[in-house]
Structures are given as C-alpha cells and as structure tokens.
Structure 1
C-alpha cells in the first residue's frame, strides 16, 4: 500500500477514475475475465487498473479473484453515497435554478427524495399530468404562478372547485387577464361557487402548489414560458417552507373580491 498521500489528493483522483471498477467489486469478488467483460475494457487495462488499486490498498487478489479490502469497502461505500448525492443534485437542477435567493431560504435537502417530472424525454405534458394526478387526491389547493405549473389548470380543476375543492390562487395580473379572456364561462361559474379565492401579485419567483399531503414547485422554460419541470415532495420541512412562502405572497397580494373581468380591472388599477 502506498504511503505518500499528499492530502489524499492522489488517492481521490484514482478513486474517481476507477469508480466503475470499485462499484463492480462492491457487489463481490470477481476474476479478471469477468471484470473485463463487466467494465468492457481490455486485458491490459484491467490488469493496470487492478494493480493500481491494489497498490493503494483498495483491493487484493484471493484465489484468482479480486476483492475489496476492508479499506476498499469503506471507500466503495463513500463512492456509492457520492454518486447517489450527485444524481440527486442533477435531478434537482431545475429547483436550484428558481429558489436561489428566495427568502426564507429553501431547505433543498428536504427535496432529496422528491419526485421530479420533466417535460423532456418525449413527454412534454409530464409536469402537467403529475399536477393533475395530485389534484385528484387533494381536498384543498393553494398555488401561485399557475402557468409555471399548469397553463390549462382552469380545465383541470374547474370541476373539482365546483364540487367543493377549496382553492386559493395568486396570479400575476396578465395571467389573470388571460384566464378571464380564455375561460369566461368557467370564471363566472367559479365566481358563483365561492370556493375559489384569487389575489394578484406582479412578482412571483416560480410556481408553487400546496396540496393536502404534498407540495410542488413548478419551473417554466425561460424562453417559451411553458412548464418544463414539476418537483413535489411530502417532507415536513419542505411543507413548512412552502406555507411560509405562500402566506408571505398572499398577504402582499392585491385582493380580488369577485372573480370577473370588472373586478380584475379594478384590482389592477388599484394596485398601479
């Protein structure tokens, strides 16, 4: 085993470079031929890599097979945890983009096990479908910046609200106007139902939804404005943060006493 470890940097670089082999051996001892096949490398490469890892004390050869030493097992566990953390960080990239600088600070660690639904990989309606599935399971709904979550949410929640889904929504004025223009009949019906309350706010950082048991973050595409990701979780820390954020914007927002075009115009004029 080598003894010259300047701050462990050389070993760290070697571990990162040999992570696939370390991961393969974490499952159990393997002979050289199996390692070659598993890693899709040549005989000379397999020999060179096993020799290097053995020199660092990470593996040993026993009865013709290579196995991790006790030190190697510890390192393999660290590598596996690191890779899992990196995968989580990659999945949550849309979240990082929108919560940076938001106060109170988002407890990002509370989203480590979140469900992340993106509009990529051939399913542009994935985030919307996820939102709709959660709406079907909830009895209350609070949200702001609906276009970052579900641009057609009026279609998706109209019937639920009429059936008694208690809903509070904060919208930007231009989005509220768009809803009024595109769904005039439904707006009248929702106004009459008295289960929907709406307020206006001209600066919303991202889409936020609070269901009975989960909270969700909606992220828009910066160029097209359409939803590109929906991240939802049921952790208490995330919920506490989401409720604090929502109440803050709700208290700042302009009250919309009635849900119809005239009331909307009056609210916008009062706010300018």
Structure 2
C-alpha cells in the first residue's frame, strides 16, 4: 500500500463517525455534528470531502449514505473492532499465533483477560476453578495442556455430577492427564456423559463452560496458564463451537 492509500485510509478512519451519523437516513449537518461528537466546522469539511468521494449524497433533507459509503463504513467498523479486540487479547496473542484467533479478534472487544502475576499467583487458577465449578449444562473444549490440580479437581467434580463433557486432546496431553490423574480419569472416561477425542495438531486451545468461552495460553517452559481470555459474547461462543466441532470431526474418538 503506497503512502497516498495509507493517508486515504487514515482519513476515512477519522471521518467514520460522520458516516455512522448518517446511518439512519438523511441527516442535516447540525444533527450530524451532534451524533458524531464533532464541531460544525469539522462536520462541514467532512461532509464535503465524503460527498466528493461518493460516500455521502447531499439531499434537500440532509446527507445520506450511498451504497459505497455504507460498504466503507461496514469495513471501517470491522477494522476498528478487530483492532480493539487485538489490543484486548495482546497478552494472549504474545504466545498464541493461531490464524483462527488472529482473524477473529473482533469477537473479543469485551473479553476479560487475566495474566500471570507474581503479586497474585493464583488468580488465574481461582478464576478458572470458579468458572468450571459453576458449569451445569455442558463442558466442551480443545486442549494441548491440562490444568492445575485445583482446576482438574473442580472439573472432575462437575463431570461426576453428570454434566456432559466432550474434550479433544493431543495424544501427549491425554497421556499426561492419565499419568497425573489416572484413576479419576479412567473412571470418568467410562461414564456415558463423557467423550474423549485425540488430534495431533489442534489450531488453538479453547473451552466452553455453559455460556462462557475460555481461551488460555500456556508458558512454553512450565506449561502453566500464562494468560486467559474469557467472554460470554454469543458470536465468540458460536465461533469457538465451530472450532471445536471441526476438531472433533477430524479427531479419533477413544472408546
């Protein structure tokens, strides 16, 4: 992208509030300025520039979006949401470079992200254990690691209560769980409400506990959770379920 194109894109980002102010139909400059939160002078310059570019159309009752303007506004807002989500997920993305997550950061603008902190070393474990303990309908996920003892214990308690569980693991993770929690794991695998699948290379780690999505990242040396993002956004949950179902389809179920 050359400098002129970059400057043009930046100008559109700055003027996006003016475009958005016209979304509901023809809008006069005074109303437009109030909706966009800009001065009337700024609104005057912006509407002139956007009209010249073909993004707005001037009518007797005000300015309205053209089809081109509506398309540009849609893409600008998508970009802004993706950027906001990327900023939110920055601690996670420092360790997780999964294309599926990178291309869907717009789903995480309102996510809560916790990071490992020496001043509060157990806060991630406590948050995850609380989410797991509150699960009453379903637990599904894809993982390349297994949780701390307290999280695993909460997980086993929930599974024993009869909550349906489907989990896709790597062979290494499966063997790790069995070696650390052998008796309990074998007991739970035998339950009718559980299903375990093996896959060699999952795209990323995700877990859905009822209506809460959890996306963790692990420290490569210790294997402990270094950062975790949680959200109850319906679109994020739908995306995560699609990732899970794709992995489940490609995985081998253990009997």
TM-score for both structures, normalised by structure 1: 0.58
| Contact 1:169-1:199 at 8 Å conserved across structures | yes
**In 2 relative to 1, CA 71–120 (structure 1 residues): closer, same or farther, beyond 3 Å?**
farther
**In 2 relative to 1, CA 71–226 (structure 1 residues): closer, same or farther, beyond 3 Å?**
farther
Q: Counterpart of 2:153 in 1: which secondary structure?
A: helix
1:98-117 maps to which residues of 2 (within 5 A)? 98-102=96-100, 106-117=103-114
1:58-77 maps to which residues of 2 (within 5 A)? none
| Aligned twin of 2:235 | 237
Cα displacement string for residues 36-62 of structure 1 (whole angstroms, at most 9, x for unaligned residues): xxxxxxxxxxxxxxxxxxxxxxxxxxx
Cα displacement string for residues 85-144 of structure 1 (whole angstroms, at most 9, x for unaligned residues): 9886544113434254238x6421221111111112522332222221111222210011
Structure 2, unaligned runs of 5 or more:
1-6, 8-38, 43-81
State the distance in 2 between where 1:229 and 1:180 align.
25
State the distance in 1 between where 2:187 and 2:169 align.
19
Q: Counterpart of 2:244 in 1: which secondary structure?
A: helix
Cα displacement string for residues 213-260 of structure 1 (whole angstroms, at most 9, x for unaligned residues): 121101011333221111011112211210111111111111101xxx
State the distance in 1 between where 2:239 and 2:97 align.
11
1:94 has 2:72 as partner? no
Structure with greater Cα Rg: 1
| Contact 2:170-2:199 at 8 Å conserved across structures | yes
Cα displacement string for residues 184-236 of structure 1 (whole angstroms, at most 9, x for unaligned residues): 22123213332221111121233201121121101011333221111011112
State the distance in 2 between where 1:123 and 1:202 align.
34
| Aligned twin of 1:25 | none
| Contact 1:99-1:106 at 8 Å conserved across structures | no
1:30-45 maps to which residues of 2 (within 5 A)? none
**In 2 relative to 1, CA 137–125 (structure 1 residues): closer, same or farther, beyond 3 Å?**
same
**In 2 relative to 1, CA 184–86 (structure 1 residues): closer, same or farther, beyond 3 Å?**
closer
| Contact 2:198-2:254 at 8 Å conserved across structures | yes
| Aligned twin of 1:144 | 142
State the distance in 2 between where 1:254 and 1:151 align.
25
Q: Counterpart of 1:147 in 2: which secondary structure?
A: coil
State the Cα RMSD in Å: 3.5
* Count of residue pairs the alignment pairs up: 186
Structure 1, unaligned runs of 5 or more:
1-8, 10-68, 73-84, 258-272
